[in-house]
Amino acid sequence: MLLRRLPSTAVSLATAALSRRYTSYLFSSQRRLQSFNSISFYPTISLLSFCSSSEISPEFTDLIADQSSKRGPLKPGLYLVGTPIGNLEDITLRALRVLKSADVILSEDTRHSGKLLHYYNIKTPLLSYHKYNESQREHTVLKRLKQGEIVALISDAGMPGISDPGTELAKICVDENIPVIPIPGPSAFLTALSASGLSTDEFTFVGFLPKHAGSRKERLVASASETTTQIFYVPPHKLGQFLEESSLIFGDSRQCVIARELTKIHEEFWRGTLGTAREAFSTRQPKGEITLLIEGNSNSSVETPSESQLENDLRELISNGHSLSSAVKLVAEGTSMKKKTIYSLALRKFVKKTKADDSD
């Protein structure tokens, strides 16, 4: 909201002016809508939304609780609640209702989630729940759920279970016939996809790549052959490595979009080819979470490079100072061919040639 960016004095003056201008309309609107309980709530919110950006007015959350009582209590179960991926205003009224009504909130990082709860004046206790203590927490959480409690699960950002903790707990609850209720909310990869300019008809969400180089290459090779838009989560400190590896496998000319700091003040969409991206980010490491999208393969069949193409790639790398084994490794990472095959070619083409040159 624009008013959140103004100094406090300006906010006061603007709020007063808006209040005088719209008070009569809002009250008349409320009278006309009294018979519609489900929407009479919203005119009141507009008067409460001009509060401090550091904390929402207590009246706001009290109003949510009042409306919740009219809708009836929540049923016991595990609630997977979507939370903002950056901008704290990107949360649904239903999510706030669940977080305020829950007996406990499982949180990936209690300090991080505490800021969100403080902003909306929610006092529900937090309990840490992350990938390092999931198995230890399961017994305690299941016990509380079986006792009829309302347990909300949130991640640091976005939907629980999507590249975040929550999947295993949801599976266990399903097996135990405990209700699992999703509360939809923001998602970084859908947000990035919608504004990317790439095809949204079909897409593949890959998420974070494996840490092991071999598994990482295998996943990239599979993605490179797909015709759908490919979506990855990339840690900022690994962006250079990702662009280096993906440009070899996808090709320098494949279009990509690098979405950074989504919904935040410094939100950025970088668009171009993988080759250009590799050069652009070789000397700078961006800050913030990154969602990286690559256009699908227009030719669904993966072309096997010819022997002459492989030879040229090897020659270029060797001339740039790479050892034979290093050049073979890099070329192998950029194709679907086995490293052993490329190494045999390198020995045949370059080792013999070197010996012949030495004999001269």
Beta strand pairing call for 290-294 and 255-260: antiparallel
| DSSP codes of every residue in 208-233 | SPPSSHHHHHHHHHHHHT-SSEEEEE
165 and 201 fall within a common domain: no
- Together in a domain, 91 and 162: yes
Contact of 224 with 249, CB cutoff 8 Å = yes
On whether both 116 and 90 belong to a single domain, the answer is yes
Report the interhelical angle of 213-224 vs 239-250 (nearest 10°). 50
Residues 181 and 244 in one domain: no
Measured CA distances, 111 to 155, 160, 251 (Å): 12, 17, 42
User: What's the pLDDT score for residue 339?
Assistant: 86
Q: What is the model's pLDDT at position 334?
A: 72
Contact between residue 56 and residue 62 where contact means Cβ atoms under 8 Å apart: no
Q: What would you measure as the largest C-alpha separation in the chain, in angstroms?
A: 101
Q: What is the pLDDT of residue 33?
A: 40
* Shared-domain flag, residues 311 and 245: no
Which one of 244, 269, 294 terminates a domain? 294
* Domain's final residue, options 135, 170, 186: 186
| pLDDT score for 6 | 38
Return the DSSP state at 203.
Answer: E
Specify whether 278 is located in the same domain as 326.
no
In a domain, residue 18? The reply is: no
Query: 279 in a domain, yes or no?
Result: yes
Which of 150, 108, 156 minimizes the C-alpha distance to 128? 108
Indicate if 72 and 176 belong to the same structural domain.
yes
Give the range of the structural domain holding residue 236, as residue numbers without chain letter.
189-294
CATH number at residue 263: 3.30.950.10
Q: Is position 2 within any domain?
A: no
Give pTM, 2 decimals: 0.67
Q: What is the CATH number of the domain that holds 89?
A: 3.40.1010.10
Q: Is residue 40 part of a domain?
A: no
Q: Of the residues 154, 186, 218, which one is the last residue of a structural domain? A: 186
One domain for residues 130 and 220: no
Domain count, the chain: 3
45 within domain boundaries = no
pLDDT given for residue 65 in this prediction: 57
pLDDT of residue 257: 98
Task: Tell me, yes or no, whether 95 and 116 share the same domain.
Answer: yes
Cα separation, 349 vs 351, whole angstroms: 6
Q: In this structure, are 198 and 139 located in the same domain?
A: no
For the chain, residues with pLDDT lower than 50 are: 1-52
Per-residue confidence (pLDDT) for residue 127, from 0 to 100: 94
**Span 34-67, pLDDT tens digits:** 443 443 334 344 333 334 456 666 666 666 656 6
Residue 311 falls in which region: left (phi positive, over 0), alpha (psi -120 to 50) or beta: alpha
Residue matched to tokens 């060797």 = 318
Do 194 and 176 sit in the same domain of this protein?
Answer: no
- Asked if the structure places residue 26 within a domain, the reply is no
Q: Is residue 243 part of a domain?
A: yes
Q: Which long-range contacts (CB under 8 A, 24 or more apart) does 130-135 make?
A: 130/165, 131/165, 134/165, 134/168, 134/169
Helix residue spans in 120-252 (DSSP H): 134-146, 167-175, 188-196, 213-224, 239-250
Q: Is 274 left (phi over 0), alpha (psi -120 to 50) or beta?
A: alpha
Clarify whether residues 116 and 80 are in a common domain.
yes
Residue 24 lies in a domain: no
